[in-house]
């Protein structure tokens, strides 16, 4: 049951990304180009995702997931060097490539070579991140 619900949710998410234009790198880069030819249409996509989740999180404290278990507790907000650096790197990659992980996976469904290259680079970055993070921690602790 859990796998079926996951498959349906993931398929719905991917279809939404495709239909909304989030896999169109030019549209995403236009959204991020505040000082050029800014395209505000993706604000509706973000609002269409954020608002239902805000409501869902408000309704879940006393409910259980359909497939069992419990909903995760919200993480304590903590701004540290790693979060800020990771956010900056994520934003730079999103702006340069016009893709982030969800749309990159969805773009694989229509055979985009750019999506494959991005996905491979993303996987390489995920494997390199722990080593790089440990090195940054050593440098920070030594200073």
Identify the pLDDT of residue 31. 84
Residue 140 has pLDDT above 70, yes or no: yes
- Tokens 């995403």: give the residue: 28
Q: Whole-angstrom Cα distance, residue 35 to residue 42? A: 16
Task: Yes or no: say if 45 and 20 are a contact pair by the CB < 8 Å rule.
Answer: yes
Pair of tokens at residue 128: 């390199």
Residue 122 has pLDDT above 80, yes or no: yes
Task: Yes or no: say if 34 and 95 are a contact pair by the CB < 8 Å rule.
Answer: no
Backbone angles phi and psi of 98, in degrees to 5 = 75, 15
The structure's pTM equals: 0.66
Identify the pLDDT of residue 8. 92
Helix (H) or strand (E) holding 56: helix 42-59
28 compared with 115, residue with greater pLDDT: 28
Identify the pLDDT of residue 111. 63
Identify the pLDDT of residue 112. 66
pLDDT tens, 30-85? 888 888 888 888 888 888 889 988 898 888 777 788 787 887 777 888 888 888 88
* Closest listed residue to residue 136, CA positions, set 61, 87, 82: 82
């Amino acid at each position: 049951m859990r796998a079926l619900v996951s498959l349906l949710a993931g398929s719905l998410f991917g279809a939404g990304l495709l239909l909304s234009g989030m896999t169109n790198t030019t549209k995403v880069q236009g959204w991020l180009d505040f000082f050029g030819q800014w395209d505000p249409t993706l604000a509706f996509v973000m609002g269409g995702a954020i608002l239902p989740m805000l409501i869902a999180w408000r309704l879940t404290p006393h409910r259980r997931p359909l497939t069992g278990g419990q909903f995760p507790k919200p993480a304590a907000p903590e701004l540290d060097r790693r979060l800020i650096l990771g956010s900056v790197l994520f934003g730079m990659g999103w702006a340069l490539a016009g893709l982030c992980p969800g749309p990159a996976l969805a773009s694989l469904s229509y055979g985009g070579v750019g999506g494959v290259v991005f996905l491979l680079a993303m996987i390489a970055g995920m494997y390199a991140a722990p080593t790089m993070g440990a090195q940054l921690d050593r440098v920070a602790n030594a200073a």
